[in-house]
Chain A
């Protein structure tokens, strides 16, 4: 089985050369795709120089991680598609290989990576409580929002990608519902920039929205209540609550 590695990226010139080179060194990797979110630095030219396929994500006006992931999956031609954040400072070929190994062995069709670190704030305070409430069978995942994932290409073609930060948890829920076999693999330590708290507000909202939307779709909550609730959260000024 061939592997395509996709890096969603925006203004990551500093990291992209190393990321692409590292990905090409992983076994079975036939192509590396950089999906750019409209970088103003040299991300695109560096990626091209390193031999990556490059596409600018389709929806530039509202760049979102989900759209970048969708475009990466659509452009890929490998049997397995691996998504990795481009700015993982300690990325190694083994890191990528660990992600797709359960698929190669026929143990799973979708793999989520997790790390030896305290899970993120949005994961602990938003994603996990909501998953426990509506999808308790998924509460076992240590890092349901992890952006390091791998899957058979065909499974990505059967789901709708959320446009923004809700994409990872959305994929987890939808693929689980489709009966896809999912495993979580420990990728060890991940060296990664942490976002400041105020930068997490949008992310938290989009993650909550993705979960609640699916809970509503799956008949787990009342549609009217959920839409009113989401609308009221959207209008809430969170600055006074210490979020910004």
Chain B
């Protein structure tokens, strides 16, 4: 393991879980960090090295290394060490990125295993917010439900929303296209309106599935 920062912490823990009896060596560049790492990871050998000394250390110990993880706070260093490790045929070489934009740079240099810790941010956001395609105005704390806003974009949505309101007796109000707020009957809802519904999570999901805004 090269580097002992916050990204390295997770990698060290994972390696330990995979092979609790395996020998783990952490290389760091300042004596302060080396001391701190020795206390945090008492099971590891912590080595103080210069920036240029790392390649020499890796080369010298190449027959002992099964996995090399470069997780310094500089992508330039991670690239450099990964390239060197590949050049001397280490079995598994992993680089952990500081900047997700460097993923293609590493790919271009044939670094096969590149971990982009930021990759999940976008997909998670989409998963949480995007999949509903509905504005969550407020989530109730004591029941699984909330106040949701849905724009009535077309005739199909209009029919489904009207049917939902009538059948479920869900409290609602409408913001109409002429900026008026109405709390009227389901039949008064029109295309273009935004309807605010107070209901359970499962109910809104059911409605969203029916109007094609949530995958079944």
Contacts and interface: CB of A to CB of B under 8 A. Distances in A.
B52 interface: yes
Interface in B89-112: 98-99, 101-102, 105
Contacts of A75: 76-77, 79-80
B40 to A, nearest CB: 22
Interface in A67-117: 70-75
B105 A74 contact: no
B51 interface: yes
Contact of A154 (B52, B74, B79, B105): B52
A54 B105 contact: yes
A27 to B, nearest CB: 25
B57 to A, nearest CB: 15
Interface string A137-166: 000000000000000001001100000000
A70 B102 CA distance: 16
Nearest to B30: A160
Contact of A55 (B50, B52, B73, B75): B75
B51 A157 contact: yes
A73 B52 CA distance: 11
Contact of A74 (B50, B80, B99): B80
Contacts of B105: 54-56
Interface string B56-75: 00000000000000000111
Given A54-B105, A55-B105, A58-B99, A74 B74 contact: yes
B74 A56 contact: no
Contacts of B76: 35, 55, 58, 70-75
**Interface SS, A side:** mixed
Given A55-B76, A55-B79, A157 B102 contact: no
A199 interface: no
Nearest to A35: B76
Contact of B73 (A38, A54, A58, A73): A58
Nearest to A57: B99
Contacts of A73: 76
A56 B102 contact: yes
Contacts of B75: 55-58, 71
A201 interface: no
A59 interface: yes
A71 B76 CA distance: 5
A74 B73 contact: no
Nearest to B118: A60
Contact of A60 (B52, B74, B99): B99
A70 B98 CA distance: 14
A92 B160 CA distance: 70
Given A74-B51, A154-B52, A157-B52, A56 B77 contact: no
A70 B78 CA distance: 13
Which 7 A/B pairs are nearest by Cβ-Cβ distance? A71-B76, A75-B76, A74-B76, A58-B98, A56-B101, A157-B51, A74-B77
25 contacts: A55-B79, A55-B102, A55-B105, A56-B99, A56-B101, A57-B75, A57-B99, A58-B73, A58-B74, A58-B75, A58-B76, A58-B98, A58-B99, A60-B101, A71-B74, A71-B76, A72-B76, A73-B76, A74-B51, A74-B76, A74-B77, A75-B77, A75-B80, A154-B52, A157-B50
